[in-house]
């Protein structure tokens, strides 16, 4: 079972991600609500994948990607963005994120994106 760390400052969105991916066989091993906590939890939990909002307090999602990739260049990070954030998404990809999903989430698209990036990283 693949282990996932979910980072979003809204518990609403973290719960929604859980409800989408847990029935598909993913284990949410931790949650983080800001860009500092997600790096700490990544180092502690070493998940297979991080799903991370692009806008977060303390450190932005882009900064947090850089922080995680600095500690673990093989880390797999998928950004959660919204329509109209294409520039930020491109920055996140350049910082090392593997892919992105767009809010509001379409469950099938979320699951297929996770499958795709994990297959590539195996």
* Site residues, other proteins (CB under 8 A): 9-13, 15-16, 19, 53, 55-57, 82, 84, 103-105
User: Please, which residue, 34 or 48, has the CB nearer to other proteins?
Assistant: 34
Nearest to 97 by CA among 108, 110, 84, 88: 88
Residue that has been written with the tokens 């996140």 in this structure: 92
Alpha helix segments (H runs only) across the chain: 11-21, 37-45, 61-71, 86-95, 107-121
Q: For the CB of residue 73, give the shortest distance to other proteins in the complex, in Å.
A: 29
Tell me if 52 sits within 8 A of 38, measured CB to CB.
Answer: yes
Q: For the CB of residue 120, give the shortest distance to other proteins in the complex, in Å.
A: 27
User: Please, which residue, 11 or 112, has the CB nearer to other proteins?
Assistant: 11
Q: For the CB of residue 10, give the shortest distance to other proteins in the complex, in Å.
A: 5
């Amino acid at each position: 079972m693949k282990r996932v760390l979910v980072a979003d400052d809204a518990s609403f969105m973290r719960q929604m991600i859980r409800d989408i991916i847990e029935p598909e066989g993913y284990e949410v091993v931790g949650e983080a609500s800001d860009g500092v906590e997600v790096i700490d939890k990544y180092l502690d939990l070493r998940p297979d994948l991080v799903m991370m909002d692009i806008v977060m307090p303390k450190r932005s999602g882009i900064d947090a990607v850089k922080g995680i990739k600095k500690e673990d260049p093989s880390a797999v990070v998928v950004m959660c963005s919204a329509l109209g954030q294409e520039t930020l998404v491109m920055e996140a990809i350049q910082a090392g994120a593997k892919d992105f999903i767009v809010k509001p989430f379409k469950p099938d698209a979320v699951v297929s994106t996770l499958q795709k990036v994990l297959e590539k990283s195996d």
